[in-house]
Amino acid sequence: MSNEKIAVVGTNIAEKATMIWNVADMLRGPFKPHEYGLVILPMTVVKRFHDCLLPTHGAVLEQYEKVKNLAVIDGFLTRASGCQFYNISKFTFDTLLADPDNIEINFRDYLAGFSGNVQDVLSKFDFDSIIKRMVESNTLYLVIKEFNSHKGYLGPDKISAVDCGYIFEDLVRRFSESFGEEAGAHFTSRDIIYLMTDLLLTDAKLDDDSNITVYDMTMGTSQMLSCMEERIHELNEDITVTCFGQEFNPSTFAIAKADMMIRNGDPNNMRFGDTLSDDQFKGFTFKYCISNPPFGIDWKREQKAVEAEAALGELGRFAPGLPKISDGQQLFVLNGLSKLAPDGRMAIIQNGSPLFSGDAGSGPSNIRQYILENDWLDAIVQLSTDQFMNTGISTYIWVISKDKPAYRAGKVQLIDASHCYEQRRKSIGTKRNDITDLCRNLIVTAYGEFKNNAVYGDENSVYCESKIFDSEEFGYRKITVERPLRDENGEIVTKKGKPVADAALRDSENVPLKEDIDEYFRREVLPYAPDAWIDRSKTKIGYEIPMTRYFYRYQPPERSEDITKRLHILESEISQSLEQLFGEEN
């Protein structure tokens, strides 16, 4: 989908979302601003279900009377409803509003009539307690009336499943902002998602008889999954796409599951739980993984479970190593790798830390080593700053492939797209930059052409740059350089005929994997410390990806003559201003 189409769709969706959010006007007082979403989100889900089921409501009630005494009735009722869910209550929003004196008991009857999968969704919203508060504040009837208005209609004949997903996404963003919560924990904008999907699907072979599986381990409201499905069907509308996701935030999980049900997918594929400590997809593998996991967030809550699984070695997800406790994003990378099929591909968003944090032998370095030595790292794309609502820092898309084509084997492509953006007219949180169609095409073309030292676009405006490296380029051996301990006479202290190392003089050197250690030592160390030696028992392998260094462009400093000239001009302007000021006073 082009950004022009997104803009048109986005305008309509924003209008609908704004209309729904304006229900908050009648909540003022009984509910605080940061609580509006507790009413609006579940009511939007209920109204969407209601409008989807309304055309078949009579058929469902008729079928229920026929099968209500059977042990298993779900199959009969879902066929009658034409959806993955149903409601056997006699009430609709119209009949609820016709009896205002009994609005609470009737509304509860209506909610109780939903199928079990909808009950699971509503339980995650803790909707029962919210209903009590609306009853106590005399707002339940007013809220139902507003949602039942013509402008509140959410039926599939007017609002497609994709558009409804946009509405949910927009409402979650508004709720997060009003709550003062980091909205980025739930929200990745579509321009970034479409870049990720296009990178994943470059050169994809999508046969009609394929069943493509897509997994998001931190799915939020499941918009990455719906975008992947949308993109795949743009390439081949006859292909089967099955989406799977896990989410730990109750309200966003409820929206994701509701969205899946509305799109006639399998709601059982949307699972609740902490991905790190409560993996809901053990033994599953997927063709594609697409995710934006939290970064800069500690994993203390999951520590016991994660360490226990790491102790399982290759039988668990975290055998290669564990990152520092203050930042768990690399754990999600390992989880994703464990879920990729032999021909699987993953696009995952990270900040800069996984590129270089941790010394040789540390958990972060060992995780990089695991990925690179298995030749799974395909590409890293650096985005500009200010791309996300909740952070202005630079972010990176890691593209990981379990089955690289021959021409990419043993290679890693780095793409600097930090200059490939367009400034927004109006920022959303800290998101000030967008990846336009032009930007996305430049980046995807750079990725697809796989050229070294190639620039795409206008270097004076919008562009990206591609470089190709051998995987081994990022590895090094950290050697420990020892020097002898000397006594007060300057003589070398020995023990069992060998010099004793002076801990105060101990140093280390990082030797590129491509270079011979002894040759490096003779060239870089011995000329300056002829008595030094290498303690080979302490040598460790490390990996880092210093992306900034690879794309650094030298900017010559301003000439002193130009600086002096500028200073003279400024001094002259200041003097003239002062003369004018004091001249007027006199």
Whether residue 475 contacts residue 447, with contact meaning beta carbons closer than 8 Å, is answered with no
- pLDDT score for 555: 72
From first to last of the 586 residues of the chain, give the pLDDT tens digit. Answer: 454 444 434 446 777 888 888 888 888 888 888 888 889 989 999 999 999 999 999 999 999 999 999 999 999 999 999 998 999 999 999 999 999 999 999 999 999 999 999 999 999 988 999 999 999 999 999 999 999 998 889 998 888 877 787 787 778 777 766 655 443 454 688 899 999 999 999 988 887 777 899 999 999 888 899 889 989 999 998 899 999 999 998 888 998 898 888 877 888 999 999 999 999 999 999 999 999 998 888 999 999 999 999 999 999 999 999 999 999 999 999 999 999 999 999 999 999 999 999 999 999 999 999 999 999 999 999 998 887 766 778 899 999 999 999 999 999 999 999 999 998 887 777 788 889 999 999 999 999 999 999 999 999 999 999 999 999 999 999 999 999 999 999 999 999 989 999 999 999 999 999 999 999 999 999 999 999 999 999 999 999 999 989 998 777 787 778 788 888 888 888 888 777 777 655 5
- Token output for 544: 């880092």
Whether residue 41 is found in the same domain as residue 115: yes
Whether residue 250 is found in the same domain as residue 300: yes
Whether residue 166 is found in the same domain as residue 284: no
Name the residue range of residue 271's domain.
184-350
Whether 325 is covered by a domain: the verdict is yes
Whether residue 289 is found in the same domain as residue 331: yes
| Single residue among 350, 382, 410 that ends a domain in this structure | 350
d(CA 338, CA 328): 16
The count of structural domains within the chain is 2
- Token output for 289: 């993984």
Of 541, 213, 188, 501, the residue nearest 349 (C-alpha): 188
Looking up residue 188, the CATH number of its domain turns out to be 3.40.50.150
Percent composition of the chain: helix, strand, coil (DSSP 3-state, to 5): 50, 20, 35
**What dihedral do alpha carbons 345, 347, 353, 358 form, nearest 10°?**
-10
Whether residue 138 is found in the same domain as residue 16: yes
| Single residue among 299, 333, 350 that ends a domain in this structure | 350
> Which residues are within 8 A (CB) of 423 and not within 5 positions of it... i.e. 6 or more apart?
432, 433, 434
Of 240, 272, 241, the residue nearest 256 (C-alpha): 272
Strands 240-247 and 211-216, bridge-based pairing: parallel
Whether 214 is covered by a domain: the verdict is yes
Q: What's the distance, CA 2 to chain centroid?
A: 21
d(CA 367, CA 321): 6
d(CA 339, CA 330): 14
- pLDDT score for 179: 56
Whether residue 148 is found in the same domain as residue 218: no
Whether 332 is covered by a domain: the verdict is yes
Whether 198 is covered by a domain: the verdict is yes
Whether 556 is covered by a domain: the verdict is no
Residue 453's φ and ψ, nearest 5 degrees, are 55, 45
Whether residue 42 is found in the same domain as residue 155: yes
- pLDDT score for 8: 37
Residue 291 CB-half CA count within 13 A: 32
pTM score, two decimals? 0.86
Whether 19 is covered by a domain: the verdict is yes
Whether residue 383 contacts residue 392, with contact meaning beta carbons closer than 8 Å, is answered with no
> Which residues are within 8 A (CB) of 124 and not within 5 positions of it... i.e. 6 or more apart?
250, 251, 253, 254, 257, 272
Whether 117 is covered by a domain: the verdict is yes
For 441-447, which contacts have Cβ atoms below 8 Å and span 24 or more sequence positions? 442/417, 443/195, 443/199, 443/381, 443/415, 443/417, 444/195, 444/198, 444/199, 444/202, 446/415, 447/199, 447/202, 447/379, 447/381, 447/399, 447/413, 447/415
Whether residue 117 is found in the same domain as residue 258: no
DSSP 136-189: HTT-HHHHHHHHTSGGG---TTTS-HHHHHHHHHHHHHHHHHHHT--GGGT---
Whether residue 192 is found in the same domain as residue 168: no
Length, in residues, of the chain:
586
Whether 488 is covered by a domain: the verdict is no
In three-state secondary structure terms, 13 is: helix
- pLDDT score for 586: 53
d(CA 218, CA 206): 25
- Distance between terminal CA atoms of the chain? 67
Whether residue 248 is found in the same domain as residue 119: no
Strands 377-382 and 396-401, bridge-based pairing: antiparallel
| Single residue among 298, 333, 350 that ends a domain in this structure | 350
Whether residue 513 contacts residue 472, with contact meaning beta carbons closer than 8 Å, is answered with yes
Whether residue 7 is found in the same domain as residue 107: yes
DSSP class of 470: E
- pLDDT score for 366: 97
Whether residue 172 is found in the same domain as residue 188: no
